[in-house]
């Protein structure tokens, strides 16, 4: 049976109201499509009893906290910004294994939310986990930051009662829900952005210096590819380095990868055939504007055997 987004919205609004009652609920929002749609859905159900929380974990894209909180506030959603970058960098310090990094991120994320829940005397945390997050985590591909119960961690450990209204849906239906909620196209067609943010795109230890470099490359890649249709496109910073030339001298520099994929539901993906001239322009901009970078690569790997992100 075809998915009926309006019926889904009505049913979830009713469910959320029934579960939350007259209490307050928080909704963590990373700016990606799932958590934005979730925030708007929860807001439709709870109005002023919903507080959207944007955690500035130091791993977001340039100006993202302003962009996201502005959109939410513009739509009348109570929004709080929590600055917690130091906690996240501390938790990630010395971690190089992808699953260790994900675990450290997840733990800090839920600890931060637990604190916010207590501060705002909220009883519930509503989050935009979707079916793909659960499938990948259960399939032991990668433990997504927002999956707890399914891997045997009780949200109560963090003092949280979690509600996941989108957990049965895959991305295309999430977008339809966004549309049914009357959201602007820029919101429901926004590129997915993973909860752990740029940490999924730094191979090796995540440090503020590396994130700053990657953030600059991300701005360039997103801007230069703005007219290329893709499911997701971004920059990645590798842990390796390569010899280059700077001011006529040898420089052992960093390597940035450009990633752009086509996908329907993130479970499989194929690389985008980006015109060569665009790739060359990106290479020039990155190596000019980020002197630490000496090489720029384009990733031609589909999923599987690759995944979309790098950790």
Interface ranges with ligand XMP (CB under 6 A): 133, 136, 141-142, 144-146, 192, 194-196, 200, 232, 266, 303, 307-309
Buried b (16+ CB within 10 A) or exposed e, 133-166: bbbbbeeeebbbbbbbeeeeeebeebebbbbbbb
Q: Report the residue number, 67 or 307, with the smaller CB distance to ligand XMP.
A: 307
Task: Supply the minimum distance, in Å, between the C-beta of residue 303 and ligand XMP.
Answer: 5
Place of tokens 């502005």: 70
Question: Is the Cβ of residue 112 or residue 200 nearer to ligand XMP in the bound state?
Answer: 200
Residue whose CB is less far from ligand XMP, 63 or 268: 268
Least Å distance, CB 23 to ligand XMP, is 25
Q: What is the DSSP letter of 255?
A: E
Cis peptide before 81 (omega within 30 of 0): no
CB of 92 to ligand XMP, least distance (A): 14
CA-CA-CA-CA torsion sign (277, 260, 40, 125): negative
Rounded to a whole number of angstroms, the minimum distance from the CB of residue 113 to ligand XMP is: 14
Which residue lies nearer to ligand XMP by CB, 134 or 256? 134
CA angle, residues 29, 230, 181, in degrees to nearest 5: 45
The per-residue DSSP string of 51-79 comes to EEEEEE-S-SPTTHHHHHHHHHHHTT-EE
d(CA 23, CA 175): 28
Residues 139 and 128: their CA atoms lie apart, in Å, by 19
Q: Quick one: 24 or 262, whose CB is closer to ligand XMP?
A: 262
Minimum distance between the CB of residue 151 and ligand XMP, rounded to whole angstroms?
12
Task: Give the phi and the psi of residue 8 in degrees, each rounded to 5.
Answer: -60, -45
Cβ 196 vs Cβ 102: under 8 Å:
yes
The residue (of 32 and 253) whose beta carbon lies closer to ligand XMP is 32
Cα 130 from chain centre: 13
For ligand XMP, the closer CB: 199 or 287 = 199
How many alpha carbons fall within 13 Å on the CB side of residue 196?
A: 30
Q: Closest CB to ligand XMP among 106 and 295?
A: 106
Question: Smallest distance from the beta carbon of 280 to ligand XMP, in angstroms?
Answer: 26
What's the start-to-end Cα distance of the chain, in Å?
Answer: 36
Distance in Å, CB of 30 to ligand XMP, minimum: 7
Closest distance between ligand XMP and the C-beta of residue 4, in Å?
Answer: 25
């Amino acid at each position: 049976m075809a998915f009926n987004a309006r019926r889904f919205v009505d049913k979830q609004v009713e469910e959320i109201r029934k579960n939350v009652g007259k209490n307050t609920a928080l909704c963590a929002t990373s700016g990606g499509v799932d958590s934005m749609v979730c925030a708007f859905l929860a807001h439709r159900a709870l109005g002023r009893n919903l507080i959207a929380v944007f955690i500035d974990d130091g791993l977001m894209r340039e100006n993202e906290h302003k962009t996201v909180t502005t959109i939410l506030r513009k739509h009348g959603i109570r929004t709080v910004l929590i600055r917690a970058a130091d906690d996240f960098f501390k938790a990630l310090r010395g971690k190089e294994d992808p699953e260790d990094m994900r675990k450290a991120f997840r733990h800090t994320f839920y600890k931060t939310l637990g604190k916010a829940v207590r501060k705002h005397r909220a009883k519930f945390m509503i989050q935009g986990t979707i079916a793909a997050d659960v499938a990948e985590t259960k399939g032991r591909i990668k433990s997504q930051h927002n999956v707890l119960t399914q891997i045997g961690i009780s949200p109560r450990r963090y003092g949280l009662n979690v509600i996941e209204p989108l957990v049965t849906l895959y991305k295309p239906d999430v977008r339809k829900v966004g549309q049914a909620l009357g959201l602007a196209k820029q919101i429901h067609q926004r590129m997915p952005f993973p909860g752990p943010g740029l940490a999924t795109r730094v191979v090796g230890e995540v440090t503020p210096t590396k994130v700053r470099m990657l953030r600059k490359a991300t701005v360039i890649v997103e801007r230069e590819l703005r007219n290329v249709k893709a499911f997701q496109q971004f920059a990645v910073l590798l842990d390796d380095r390569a010899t280059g030339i700077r001011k006529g001298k040898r420089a052992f520099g960093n390597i940035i990868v450009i990633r752009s994929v086509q996908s329907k539901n993130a479970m499989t993906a194929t690389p985008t055939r980006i015109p060569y001239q665009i790739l060359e322009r990106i290479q020039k901009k990155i190596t000019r504007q980020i002197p630490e970078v000496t090489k720029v690569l384009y990733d031609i790997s589909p999923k599987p055997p690759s995944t979309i992100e790098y950790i």
